[in-house]
Amino acid sequence: MPGSVRYDVLARAKGRCEACGVTVQEMAIEVDHIVPRNKGGTDDPSNLQALCYRCNAQKRDRDATDFGAARSAFDTRSDECVFCALPTGRIVADNNLAVAIRDAYPVTAMHTLVIPKRHVADYFDLHSAERNAIESLLQHQRAAIMAADNCVEGFNVGVNAGAVAGQTVFHVHVHLIPRRAGDMGNPRGGVRGVIPDRQKYHDSETGS
């Protein structure tokens, strides 16, 4: 197919795999047919899509699935959601699919939230590319926080998934909470403290 057609398909996909959302910076993106040629598919742009080499290898020439809906899903926003309309000034870092901000009500100094750009309530509904984007920002912000404050010796990383788990803003956000020696009397048990009576376990119990 002509190079200009390939370029147009990649531009339409915004440089992402239309199946999993991974970016061209992370993995090679190929332009291939929705309906395979061996099933009568043509080189018309309407029958072409951008897939990373992994998704394209899994699709092969037997599947005629159009992954265009995945492309548009990443742009989903909600007018009523505070995390869908963040002021630019609050964003401390971002990438194609996620942003990082400081928590407005921090547990400790530099408490950070990493948030997918797509409006999605449940962590378990994230696409793999969004999880990769979140992980990248968690690593980036961990390094930035430790460089800014040499008193930081550890972190709590957590997600509230569902109202019974304490979620109050129903747009996924991952907490990155810096920890410093002495910031609480006895930190043993860490995230087990979501149920206070179970934070501290006995030596005979297995815990981390």
> Looking at the annotation, which residues are catalytic?
173
Domains 3-73 and 88-198 share a fold: no
| CA-wise closest residue to 49 among 37, 62, 65 | 65
* pLDDT: which is higher, 114 or 15: 114
pLDDT attached to residue 4: 80
Kindly report, residue by residue over 153-170, the tens digit of the pLDDT.
Answer: 999 999 999 999 999 999
Mean pLDDT of 13-30: 86
Mean pLDDT of 19-44: 86
Rounded-to-integer distance, Cα 168 and Cα 89, Å:
23
Confidence of residue 25 (pLDDT cuts 50, 70, 90): confident
Tell me the chain's radius of gyration from C-alpha atoms.
Answer: 21
User: What count of residues does the chain have?
Assistant: 208
CATH code of domain 3-73: 1.10.30
Report how far apart, in Å, the C-alpha atoms of 117 and of each of 57, 81, 104 are. Answer: 28, 11, 18
Asked whether 104 and 62 are in contact (CB, 8 A), the reply is no
The strand pair at 91-94 and 48-52 is best described as unpaired
Task: Supply φ then ψ for residue 45, to 5 degrees.
Answer: -50, -30
Superfamily of domain 88-198: HIT-like (3.30.428.10)
Answer whether residue 1 shows pLDDT above 80: no
- Domains of the chain by residue range: 3-73, 88-198
pLDDT attached to residue 205: 55
